[in-house]
A and B are shown apart, each in its own frame.
Chain A
Amino acid sequence: MDRIPILKMGPFLLVTIQVDLYDRLALTLENDLISMVSKTGARGVLIDISAVSIVDSFMGRILGNIASMSRIMDAETVVVGMQPAVAITLVELGLTLQGVYTALDVEKGMELLQDKIGIFEDPEQEKEGPDDSDD
C-alpha cells in the first residue's frame, strides 16, 4: 500500500504530498503523522501540498484534524504551497482551516514554524518572519 514519507528535520516533521490524496491514503497519513509526532516529540509539522490539485471536504477535514491533534501534542501545523484552485474549493466548501497556519512556500513555512515555537538558530534574526498568521 502507498505511504506518504514523513521526514524528520530537527524538531520538525516535513511531509510533502506528491500525489493526489484519496481517502484511505489521507487516513493513513493522519495515523502515521500523529504517531511520528508522539514518537519523536516534534514541535512542528510542515505539510507541503503544492502538488495537490484536487481536494474535497474529507481532505480538508483531515488537514484540520491533523492540526488539532498536533496542537494537543504541543506541535504546530503549517500548511504550505496551496494551489489557488484548491484554496477556492476549500473556501467554497466552507472549510477555512481555522487553527492551521499557512505559508506560501516551504521556506516561509519553516520561518513561520521557528517563529511560532520560539526556536532561533541565530538570536539576531529574532525579528524575522513578518508573515504571522492571525490566530
Chain B
Amino acid sequence: MNTIAQLLQNNKKKILENWMQNQLSDTSLRDDLISNEELRRQSDELINGLSRATAGGNVDNIYAPEYEPVVEILSDISITRARQGFSPRETGMYVLSLKQAIITVLQDKYSEQPEVLYKELLTVNNLLDMLSMVTFDTYIKGREEVILRQTDEINEISTPVIRVWEGILALPIIGTLDSARTQIVMENLLQEIVNTGSSIAILDISGVPAVDSLVAQHLIKTVSATRLMGAECIISGIRAEIAQTIVHLGIDLSNIKTKASLASALQLAFSMRSVEVRKISKNTGFHIGR
C-alpha cells in the first residue's frame, strides 16, 4: 500500500476536518445554496472513495476503473452545483481545498523527511489537479446542458409558420438568425409549404434586431430553397436601419421581393394570387386589410 492511500485511511477524520474548515472559512461559500450537513456528507463520501481508489497503488491514472466511483461522485457534485447556480470558482475551490487539507496533513507527518514530503506533495498535487479537471469538465457540461435546453425551447417557440390566407404563409422571425435557427426556420417553412400547398411565403424580419452579411446570406438561402420548392418568397418588415446596413454592406437583395411592412407584403401576395380584398357595405362595419 502506498503512502497516500495510508495517509488517507489513517487520517481520514483529520483531513475531513481540515477540508471542512477550509471550505467553511472561504468567504465565498454559498451556505444559502447548500447546508453544512450536506457539504460534510458529500466531502466524506469523496474522501472515502478516494481512499478506496488509491488503495490499489494507482495514483496517476484517474481513468482507471478503480477511480470510476470517485469520478462519478465528483461529476455528480459538480453537475448539481452547475444547476444550483454555483460559480465556477466555488465549484473549483471544492476540490482544490481538499488538496490544501491533504497537504497540511502531509506536512505535519513528514516534516522531518523533506525528500519524502516533496515526492508525496507532487503526487497529491497531480492527482487532485486531474480531479479538479474532471470537476471543471462536468461543471461546464452541466452548464451547457442547461443552455442547450433553453436554446431548444427558444427555437421551438420562436418559429411559428402561420397560414394567413389560402396559399399564403407568413413566418415572423423574432430574435437573431444564426445558422442553426435558419435551418429550423427553413425546414419548418418548407414542410409547411408542402403540407398546405401554399405558393407564397412571407418572411417577416421586423423582430430581427440586426441584419449583417451572415444573416442576409441565411435569408437568401431560405428564399432560394423556397423557390426551388416552387413557391415565391417575400421578405417584409425591413426597418430603416436594416435597409441602411444592407446597402452599406453591399448585400444584393435585388432579385428578392422585399416590402417594408407585413401589410404591404400581404397586399403584394394578394395581387400575385389575383385576390382582391375590399371594404363591404358601410353598415356592417367589418373590413379586412386596407
Contacts and interface: CB of A to CB of B under 8 A. Distances in A.
Contact of B199 (A84, A87, A108): A108
B227 interface: yes
B148 interface: no
A91 B225 contact: yes
What is the interface of chain B mostly: helix, strand, loop, or mixed? Answer: helix
B144 to A, nearest CB: 26
Interface stretch (B7-15, B37-45, B124-132, B228-236): B228-236
Contacts of B221: 91-92
Contact of A82 (B191, B197, B230): B230
Interface stretch (A4-12, A23-31, A95-103, A116-124): A95-103
Interface residues of B, number: 26
A119 B276 CA distance: 26
Interface residues of A, number: 26
A90 interface: yes
B232 A104 contact: no
A71 B197 CA distance: 28
A131 B193 CA distance: 14
Contacts of B154: none
Nearest to A129: B274
A109 interface: yes
Contacts of A108: 199, 230
Interface string A69-99: 0000000000111111011101110001100
B224 interface: yes
Given A97-B228, A104-B199, A84 B274 contact: no
Contacts of B229: 82, 84, 87, 102, 104
Given A88-B187, A88-B190, A130-B274, A82 B199 contact: no
B231 A134 contact: no
A105 B226 CA distance: 14
B197 A131 contact: no
B84 interface: no
Contact of B273 (A83, A130, A133): A130
Given A84-B194, A104-B193, A130 B227 contact: no
Contacts of B191: 84
A84 B199 CA distance: 14
Nearest to A128: B274
B197 A104 contact: yes
B230 A84 contact: no
Closest CB pairs A-B (n = 10): A84-B190, A102-B230, A103-B230, A87-B228, A87-B225, A96-B224, A104-B230, A131-B199, A91-B225, A91-B224
21 contacts: A79-B228, A81-B230, A84-B186, A84-B194, A84-B229, A86-B228, A88-B186, A88-B190, A90-B225, A92-B221, A104-B231, A105-B230, A108-B230, A109-B230, A130-B274, A131-B230, A131-B231, A131-B272, A133-B230, A134-B232, A134-B257
Given A104-B198, A108-B230, 16 more contacts: A82-B228, A82-B229, A84-B186, A84-B193, A87-B190, A87-B225, A88-B187, A102-B229, A104-B199, A104-B231, A108-B199, A109-B230, A130-B273, A131-B272, A133-B232, A134-B257
